[in-house]
Structure 1
Amino acid sequence: MRLYFKYMSIHLKSQMQYRTSFFLMSFGQFFIPFMVFGGLYLMFERFGQLKGWSFFEVALCFSVIHLSFSLSECFARGFDAFSSLVGKGDFDRLLVRPRSAALQVLGSKFEFTRIGRLLQSGIVFIWSVSNLPGLWTFPKLLALLFMVFNGLLIFTGIFILAATFCFWTIQALEVANVFTDGGREMAQYPLNIYEKGVTRFFTFIIPFGCVSYLPLMYILDKREGDMLLPLLMPFGGALFLIPCLLIWRIGVKHYRSTGS
């Protein structure tokens, strides 16, 4: 982990060489989800509720997903940009170094400008929690933190899968955006508003349901049961990440270098 934090320090110093650009990019990232959230607010102003969910309940769901996505984009961006390493032959250099290839790829790029998106999502998170007084218990607040961490693992796993395909296709597949950007847009709302097939896919295949919808059903007392289940559900991200890393290792073993 010392190597990972060293990578982080180097990239932060590099990006802060152009501070005006950095702050303008961060400012722009703040308003990207803000506009989406504005649309969400106007929708509830018009209709009042969404299939039994109040505005602040959906806002909490929105903020958890966007916090997870922002953290993943910031700290796992190396896998999202992995195609350039393969295309230029730079991945060969990583393989001869006495450190894990996955760790080196993970530390090859950081997007600290995502702090703007992270700040906006954090504001919505605090605002929604403060307007849901039933959440002010230690188990529920702990479950909320696990939900964010769980989402971070799931988005990182998707980035890893997309990077693995680069061993055979050279360039990253655009279909991966269906599960990153598309999954983020869908999971920012409760999954029960969609068809059952969609809900099952994003619960058992790409487990975004374990990030927000299923834990929130218990945290917000929308389903009877104890608090053990929402504390266990967020670990679904780890169950998703492990096979993604195994597939990555298979891809590395089948990598045949650039030949140059």
Structure 2
Amino acid sequence: MGLYFKYLSILFKSQLQYRTSFWLLTFGQFFIPFSVFAGLYFMFERFGQLRGWSFYETALCFAIIHMAFSLSECFARGFDAFSSLVAGGEFDRVLVRPRSTVVQVLGSKFEFTRFGRLLQSAIILVWALYNLPIEWSIAKVITLLLMVASGVLIFTGIYMLAATLCFWTIQGMEVANIFTDGGREMAQYPLNIYQKWVTVFFTFIIPFGCVSYLPLLYILDKVHGNEILYMLMPLAGVLFLLPCILVWQLGVRHYRSTGS
């Protein structure tokens, strides 16, 4: 972790060398999700509710998934841009260093300008929580934190799987965006508004529902059953990441150098 934070510090300082560009990009990232949230707001302004969900309940779901996406874009950007390392032969250099390939690829690129997007999501989160009559407890606070953290792990796992494909395809495949951007767009709404197969897919295959919809039911006191089970649902993010790491290690073992 010391090496990881060293990477973090070096890249942050390098990006601050062009302060005007950095702050303009951060400012721009702040407004990127604005149109999406505006669409959410005007939809509820017109219809009032969405299958039993109020505006602020849906806004809370929106904020959580976008916070997780912003953090993963910032800190797992190395896997998202991994194809450039393979295509340029730079991954050979990673392999000869006596440190984990996961840590090195994670530390190869950070997008600190994504903090603009994160800030907007945090503002929406605070606004939604302020307007919701939630009876808070330590368990609910922990659940909320786990929802964001586990969402980061799921997005990171998807980036890792997409990066692993680069060992065979060289270039990154746009199909991965179906599960990153597409997953984000799906999970920003409560999953019970979709058809059953969509809910099942994003609960048991790519468990976005376990970090947004299901634990949100617990926080909003809408659970009919074992509350502890709903509270622990975000841990599915850890269970999703573990096989992604194994697949990555499998890809590393089958990697063939560029030969140049």
Q: Pick the TM interval, shorter chain.
A: over 0.9
CA distance in 1, matches of 2:254, 2:120: 41
1:187 aligns with 2:221: no
In 2: Cα distance, 1:135 partner to 1:17 partner: 46
Assess if the C-alpha contact under 8 Å between 2:218 and 2:231 holds in 1. Answer: no
Equivalent positions of 1:94-113 (< 5 A) are 94-113=94-113
1:243 aligns with 2:243: yes
Aligned pair count reads 260
Q: Secondary structure at the match of 2:32?
A: helix
1:17 maps to: 17
Q: Structure 2: how far apart are the matches of 1:113 and 1:147?
A: 23
| Structure 1 unmatched ranges of 5 or more | none
CA distance in structure 2 between the aligned counterparts of 1:143 and 1:254, rounded to whole angstroms? 39
1:87 aligned partner:
87
The equivalent of 2:202 in structure 1 is 202
What CA deviation, in whole Å up to 9, does each residue of 1:219-240 have, x standing for no partner? 2122223541233111000000
Report the TM-score, using the length of structure 2 for normalisation.
0.98
**Aligned ranges for residues 102-251 of structure 1 at < 5 Å?**
102-251=102-251
Counterpart code for 1:40: L
Distance 1:31 1:213 in 2: 25
Q: Tell whether the 8 Å contact from 1:147 to 1:234 is kept in structure 2 after alignment.
A: yes
CA contact (8 A) 1:218 1:225 kept: no
Partners of 1:206 and 1:224 lie apart in 2 by 24
Instruction: Please report how far the alpha carbon of residue 256 of structure 1 lies from its aligned counterpart in structure 2 after TM superposition.
Output: 1.0
Q: Which residue of 1 aligns with 2:39?
A: 39
Q: 2:56 is matched by which residue type in structure 1?
A: F
Partners of 1:11 and 1:171 in 2: CA distance: 24
RMSD, matched Cα: 0.9
Distance in 1 between residues matched to 2:120 and 2:134, nearest whole Å: 23
Given that 1:156 and 1:241 are in contact with CA atoms closer than 8 Å, whether structure 2 keeps it comes out as yes
TM-aligned CA deviation for residue 133 of structure 1: 2.4
Q: TM-score, normalized by length of structure 1?
A: 0.98
Aligned twin of 2:68: 68
Q: Percent identity?
A: 73
Q: Is the 8 A contact 1:129 1:135 kept in 2?
A: no
Contact 1:76–1:110 under 8 Å retained in 2: yes
Question: What is the distance in 2 between the residues matched to 1:66 and 1:176?
Answer: 18
Q: What is the distance in 2 between the residues matched to 1:210 and 1:135?
A: 21
Q: Deviations over 1:134-159 (max 9, x none)?
A: 14222112111100001000000000
Q: Is the 8 A contact 1:143 1:230 kept in 2?
A: no
1:25-57 Cα distance to aligned partner (Å, 9 max, x none): 001100011121111111101000000000000
User: Any idea what SS the aligned residue of 1:28 has?
Assistant: helix
